Chain A
């Protein structure tokens, strides 16, 4: 299930990158490039959440 969601998302992102490079550029260059900051904050948050969820799972395995 999780795999399916992941691949669907990855495919969507890849497809968007392929077809709309200019849209991507526009989004990140407009309004003083503020969206670059948003993207970076999201990367950090999602990265840490992903890591913590995985850590939590691994610790839970030892409880049994």
Chain B
């Protein structure tokens, strides 16, 4: 008897509470997923990369070049640091003259008067960082381009492999903001998910179950919140990578139109007094809004050539890394986690809409 009593006093959760927890297992999953996403999207390091070289024009004879890297180990690996210039498919080795820090060193390179190509890139190699490079457009002075010329072979070659350790890919211009992939992009996935719920509910309304209108309106409202968050975060991201808060990108303008259309859906509903009529009319509007969203956000940006967004036509920015496993390992959980959070908020919104409807009926 006393044993049982002890059990009850020390037991933190009652059966009812445990039962409640079991029912809401997916909320715990959402919290776990988003914790994982936040931690790993911020703690995963960026792999080393080349930031810049301070040269606009290369000339015949000796060139002095300053190479700036990111997350590199030039100083720590100074005994093994080597530098090259690649010209087309051929290589010229430079001589390191001064290592300023882990991220900066100077080197000099002797160039002949004839080079095989105008495609020039600057490489730095250490065993820890692998081969990193900066490819910047350079001018030529006193140098003739002749594609038949053969440069002397390198004596000691290094592997032309990029960094092999775990980390997010280093992308020029993006740098650390590649982590926004786990926050900005899932906003739109969540919006699509919620608008999808809204569409299904609207179809049910059209087939006679007009009480499903509550589901349609609450999921559209929460989807709209994620749409606004996606617009704001995208605008901030654009400002510091593309250089402007807003551009005439079909994806951006499409997203703005989608926002306006769904805002109209939520606002115009209030203008119809009769509940049955309101449910059916707004269901029709909702179906068209969804079709418009698919056309504007999924189809249009892929058909025009001017989208700045990665993965859309005319811009292969992420394509090399589309299947990068370090990004995928965080991105997929991020999409699922944010979508679950969106669904969670939708259930709360639904409670409010149900209360509203009940008070109207009375």
CB-CB nearest in chain A for B183: A40
Please, which residues of chain A bring their CB within 8 A of the CB of B70?
32
Judge if A17 is at the interface, Cβ distance under 8 Å.
Answer: no
CA distance A28 to B236 in the complex (A): 10
CB-CB nearest in chain B for A37: B179
Judge if A14 is at the interface, Cβ distance under 8 Å.
Answer: no
**Is A34 a contact partner of B232 (Cβ separation < 8 A)?**
no
**Is B233 a contact partner of A44 (Cβ separation < 8 A)?**
yes
Judge if B348 is at the interface, Cβ distance under 8 Å.
Answer: yes
**Is B177 a contact partner of A36 (Cβ separation < 8 A)?**
yes
CB-CB contacts below 8 Å: A19-61 with B: 28-29, 31-34, 36-37, 39-41, 43-44, 47-48, 51-52, 55, 58-59
**Is A40 a contact partner of B180 (Cβ separation < 8 A)?**
yes
Q: A44-B233, A47-B229 are in contact. Are A33 and B349 (CB under 8 A)?
A: no
CB-CB contacts below 8 Å: B62-91 with A: 70
B contact residues, range: 20 to 34
Judge if B175 is at the interface, Cβ distance under 8 Å.
Answer: yes
CB-CB nearest in chain B for A44: B229
The distance from the CB of B233 to the nearest CB of chain A, in whole angstroms, is 4
**Is B240 a contact partner of A33 (Cβ separation < 8 A)?**
yes
Instruction: Find A55's partner among B228, B352, B356 (CB 8 Å cutoff).
Output: B352
Judge if A6 is at the interface, Cβ distance under 8 Å.
Answer: no
CA distance A44 to B227 in the complex (A): 11
CA distance A47 to B38 in the complex (A): 17
CA distance A29 to B228 in the complex (A): 25
**Is B240 a contact partner of A36 (Cβ separation < 8 A)?**
yes
Please, which residues of chain B bring their CB within 8 A of the CB of A39?
236
CB-CB contacts below 8 Å: B219-241 with A: 225, 228-229, 232-233, 236-237, 239-241
Judge if A62 is at the interface, Cβ distance under 8 Å.
Answer: yes
CA distance A37 to B168 in the complex (A): 14
CA distance A62 to B72 in the complex (A): 59
Tell me the dominant secondary structure on chain B's binding face. Answer: helix
Judge if B351 is at the interface, Cβ distance under 8 Å.
Answer: yes
Judge if B46 is at the interface, Cβ distance under 8 Å.
Answer: yes
**Is A43 a contact partner of B176 (Cβ separation < 8 A)?**
no
Tell me the dominant secondary structure on chain A's binding face. Answer: helix
Q: A33-B240, A40-B233, A62-B359 are in contact. Are A47 and B228 (CB under 8 A)?
A: yes
The distance from the CB of A45 to the nearest CB of chain B, in whole angstroms, is 10
Please, which residues of chain A bring their CB within 8 A of the CB of B268?
none
CB-CB nearest in chain B for A63: B355
The distance from the CB of B30 to the nearest CB of chain A, in whole angstroms, is 13
CB-CB contacts below 8 Å: B339-362 with A: 341, 345, 348-349, 351-352, 355-356, 359
CB-CB nearest in chain A for B228: A47
CA distance A37 to B228 in the complex (A): 17
CB-CB contacts below 8 Å: B303-362 with A: 341, 345, 348-349, 351-352, 355-356, 359
CA distance A52 to B344 in the complex (A): 11
CA distance A12 to B233 in the complex (A): 21
**Is B176 a contact partner of A34 (Cβ separation < 8 A)?**
yes
Judge if B42 is at the interface, Cβ distance under 8 Å.
Answer: yes
CB-CB contacts below 8 Å: B183-231 with A: 183-184, 187, 225, 228-229
Please, which residues of chain B bring their CB within 8 A of the CB of A41?
38, 183
**Is A52 a contact partner of B176 (Cβ separation < 8 A)?**
no
Instruction: Find B177's partner among A33, A43, A58 (CB 8 Å cutoff).
Output: A33
**Is A28 a contact partner of B229 (Cβ separation < 8 A)?**
no
**Is A47 a contact partner of B232 (Cβ separation < 8 A)?**
yes
Q: Which of A36, A41, A52 has the most C-beta atoms of chain B within 10 angstroms of its own C-beta? A: A36
For the complex of A and B, 8 pairs with smallest distance between CB atoms: A32-B175, A32-B176, A34-B176, A62-B355, A40-B233, A37-B179, A36-B240, A36-B177
